[in-house]
Amino acid sequence: DTSLAEVNSFSPSVPISPSSMINQYKFEDGPELRDLFITVDDPESHITAIETFITYRVVTKTTRGEFDSSEYEVRRRYQDFLWLKSKLEEAHPTLIIPPLPEKFIMKGMVERFSDEFIETRRKALHKFLNRIADHPTLTFNEDFKIFLTAQAWELSSHKKQGPGLLSRMGQTVRAVASSVRGAVKNRPEMFTEMNNYMETFSQKINLLDKIAHRIYKEERDYFNEMKEYGPIHTLWSASEEDIADSLKGIASCIDRCCKATEKRMAGLSEHLLPILHEYVLYSEILMGVLKRRDQIQGELDSKVDALASKKTEKDVFSEEIEKLEDKVERANNALKADWDRWKQNMQWDMRSSFTNVAENNLRYYEE
């Protein structure tokens, strides 16, 4: 759908092959010179009397002056990543914070703590940190720096300095209360367009995600059936001398189809499913960001209304309105800049993902 990404359709005159297909896309150049490189690797299991959890090694290399060293190595568990995400959302409510994989990713497809599950999560955590590192604002967040550099006990101590549970509950209650006060009266047209875009995008990306999972399940069922039929034909050939060669040929063909299908499934699980699901999560994040922008706008609108009805307190309200106008302007500018970055990244990811899948499918059918 051209509303998701503006891409050129393939010309029927061009020969359809993986190489010619991939070459029809002109991908954007890579990021500018970077000064912060992060790797998430080496998952390690920890079993205690209370719980079982995985930690990941986070290696950071940098040339930035605000870091005391050029290289850091720390271990982090999933809860630490959740803490970082919540701190970034708290500090930058109208910026688009990258999504984290859910507690149980791809439910029904992989078992928790299996090698496949751990590797899927490692890749997602690696992408999460590098998206933050590539962001022009989030990359300089102090909590992000602490996450990358502090030892486990230092991070634990820093976490305790955050707002308490009651304070966080109060913030949540206030946010919910302000979000249900009604529609924003003076929302700029561009943010209404963003909201409409995200509603459509959310429907489409969720549908694509469901279809992709259904395709993967059908491929897996087909693969499992073929795995049974190969040995059956081999055994059959032992008792049918006249057609033994034909039966062995069929068994060999089924085996080759099995291997091709397995590679195709690996392509789906690596290039398509994670990308689609990441943008399902992004759609939820974007809707939340737009709501938070509307809350700031709603607060400004209520003050303007109050000023109109209370002329005697004009000076006090005028000062508050000026502050809120400035806050709304900053929120709008932050979101507009991040919106453009997000759309560009999303379109690149979608083009890349679907091109990889198409190329993989072509190889599969050629085989």
For 101-148, the pLDDT digits (tens) are 876 544 444 456 678 888 888 999 999 999 999 999 999 999 999 999
In the predicted model, what is the mean pLDDT of residues 285-302? 89
Bridge partners, residue 53, by sequence:
46
Which domains does the chain carry?
34-156 (3.30.1520.10), 183-366 (1.20.1270.60)
Report the run of H or E that residue 110 belongs to, with start and end: none
Q: Can you tell me the distance from the alpha carbon of 186 to that of 167, in angstroms, rounded to the nearest whole number? A: 30
274: its two tokens: 């994670």
Q: What stretches of the chain show up as alpha helix (H) in DSSP? A: 18-23, 78-91, 115-134, 142-149, 152-159, 165-179, 189-238, 244-267, 273-309, 314-366
Report the residue count for the chain: 367
Eight-state DSSP code of residue 181: S
- Say what the pLDDT of residue 1 is: 45
Residue 173 confidence (pLDDT) above 50: no
Across all residues in the chain, what is the average pLDDT?
A: 82
Residue 283 confidence (pLDDT) above 60: yes
Indicate the angle between helix axes 78-91 and 115-134, nearest 10 degrees: 30
198: its two tokens: 């995200």
Could you tell me the CA-to-CA distances from 108 to 168, 187, 217, 261, 268 in Å, in that order?
A: 33, 42, 10, 20, 16
**Per-residue buried b or exposed e for 295-310, using 16+ beta carbons within 10 Å of the residue's own CB:** bbbbbbbebbeebeee
- Say what the pLDDT of residue 312 is: 55
229: its two tokens: 């039929």
In the predicted model, what is the mean pLDDT of residues 279-298? 91
pTM for the whole structure: 0.74
